[in-house]
Amino acid sequence: MDPLRRSPSPCLSSRPSSPSTPPCEMLGPVGIEAVLDQLKIKVMKMGFEFNIMVVGQSGLGKSTMVNTLFKSKVWKSNPPGLGVPTPQTLQLHSVTHVIEEKGVKLKLTVTDTPGFGDQINNDNCWDPILGYINEQYERYLQEEILITRQRHIPDTRVHCCVYFVPPTGHCLRPLDIEFLQRLCRTVNVVPVIARADSLTMEEREAFRRRIQQNLRTHCIDVYPQMCFDEDINDKILNSKLRERIPFAVVGADQEHLVNGRCVLGRKTKWGIIEVENMAHCEFPLLRDLLIRSHLQDLKDITHNVHYENYRVIRLNESHLLPRGPGWVNLAPASPGQLTTPRTFKACRGAHDDSDDEF
Ligand SMILES: Nc1nc2c(ncn2[C@@H]2O[C@H](COP(=O)(O)OP(=O)(O)O)[C@@H](O)[C@H]2O)c(=O)[nH]1
Ligand SMILES: [Mg+2]
């Protein structure tokens, strides 16, 4: 149906029913399905904002993965600055690119983080990362609580954090367990086995099973969280994903010619490891989860669960509770407050009034 054409509404034009006027249902469909077209037009105008963060120890290929994501076939974009050798990441750094496909605009931001775990004492090495994630919630909250607020609040909140597990082939290290436990309470986390080309296919599978076991033992609830499956279809789709997580990924930012095709891959003595070839690694699964299948769900859980937890705690800890219509005086949080781990509260669906626009 042409989305711009308004369907004639028999109910609007008809007078109140009387014995001589037939009821609405008898005049045929009202045209409710047109609301889908209206939504589509609105969403296409506004576009989507989506923010990803990569986290893990130094040297695991996080910065390379940022480039891989932008250069992979789905996104086919070359943001300025990519293509040059990846320098060591010394501070949190975001790359944003607007990708447009069939009239749909996606403003994708990937935040690269410095590696951690290089120090002799790695106590609290998660603080800068958790601090950044909470700072974005705080920013959103400060905008949201204004009496006169913007119609669209810019969304810098991290919707998904890709956590790089070193390819040891054994199990999760205590540092990863501690980090993941904290991270999962604050943000959606998708763990990946980094530099998977250093493991054989059998080693990858065995490592994946052990990591899954570790996650269960230590109550680390990574994305997609089972408790948020809404119906049987979610359950089926997400169960398959949970079987495959952590994905064994390989990152590359160089293109090579293979059988006349230009592919993104790593050149080795034995041949090219193609990052977008499922026979070589599971990067396509990660990319598809992030963009093709779960983008909106990741945003919804961020808004309805993680941000909601943050909001409730911040509003409760501010001693000045509402003193009349619209009154909230919320002092900005101190950095110490922002990194405090909080309990995970499932309140998905509580508030779903996010509006995307850029
Ligand atoms: N073998 C292999 N090397 C990789 C992979 N990804 C990145 N590298 C290399 O690992 C080194 C460190 O990568 P970088 O992206 O800077 O790691 P970061 O410190 O986690 O950001 C670079 O030489 C990359 O070319 C991968 O999947 N496999
Ligand atoms: Mg880096």
Residue 291: both structure tokens together:
């963009």
State how far the Cα of 293 lies from the Cα of 288, in Å rounded to an integer. 6
Identify whether 6 is part of a domain.
no
Residue 60: both structure tokens together:
């695991």
The better pLDDT of the pair 148, 330 is held by: 148
pLDDT confidence of 299, banded at 50, 70, 90?
very high
Atom of ligand 1 nearest to the CA of 253: 25
pLDDT number for residue 226: 94
Identify whether 80 is part of a domain.
no
- How far apart are the CA of 113 and the centre of ligand 2, in A? 7
Using the predicted structure, report yes or no on whether residue 355 has a pLDDT greater than 50: no
Helical spans, DSSP H, in the chain:
10-13, 34-46, 62-71, 127-144, 174-184, 201-217, 232-244, 283-287, 295-301, 307-317, 335-338
| Ligand with minimal distance to 58 CA | 1
| Atom 13 of ligand 1, nearest CA residue | 61
Residues 6+ apart with CB under 8 A from 2: none
The mean pLDDT of 302-317, rounded to a whole number, is: 93
Q: Is 64 in the pocket of ligand 1 (CB under 6 A)?
A: yes
The mean pLDDT of 243-250, rounded to a whole number, is: 96
pLDDT number for residue 69: 86
Q: Is 339 in the pocket of ligand 1 (CB under 6 A)?
A: no
Q: Is 169 in the pocket of ligand 1 (CB under 6 A)?
A: no
Identify whether 26 is part of a domain.
no
Q: Is 166 in the pocket of ligand 1 (CB under 6 A)?
A: no
- How far apart are the CA of 44 and the centre of ligand 1, in A? 36
The mean pLDDT of 139-152, rounded to a whole number, is: 90
Identify whether 14 is part of a domain.
no
State how far the Cα of 203 lies from the Cα of 206, in Å rounded to an integer. 5
Domain coverage including residue 230: 35-74+89-112+124-249+286-314
pLDDT number for residue 150: 86
177-193: pLDDT as tens digits:
999 999 999 999 999 99
Using the predicted structure, report yes or no on whether residue 265 has a pLDDT greater than 90: yes
Using the predicted structure, report yes or no on whether residue 3 has a pLDDT greater than 60: no
Number of structural domains the chain divides into: 1
Which domain CATH number covers 67?
Answer: 3.40.50.300
Atom of ligand 1 nearest to the CA of 252: 6
pLDDT number for residue 40: 86
40-66: pLDDT as tens digits:
888 888 888 999 999 999 899 998 998
Identify whether 274 is part of a domain.
no
pLDDT number for residue 233: 93
Q: Is 254 in the pocket of ligand 1 (CB under 6 A)?
A: no
Identify whether 44 is part of a domain.
yes
Nearest Cα residue to 186 out of 310, 74, 278, 60: 310
Identify whether 198 is part of a domain.
yes
64 touches 86 (CB < 8 A):
yes
Identify whether 310 is part of a domain.
yes
131 touches 138 (CB < 8 A):
no
31-47: pLDDT as tens digits:
888 898 898 888 888 88
Q: Is 297 in the pocket of ligand 1 (CB under 6 A)?
A: no
Q: Which of 58, 60, 62, 64 to mutate to test the pocket of ligand 1 (most atoms within 8 A of CB)?
A: 64
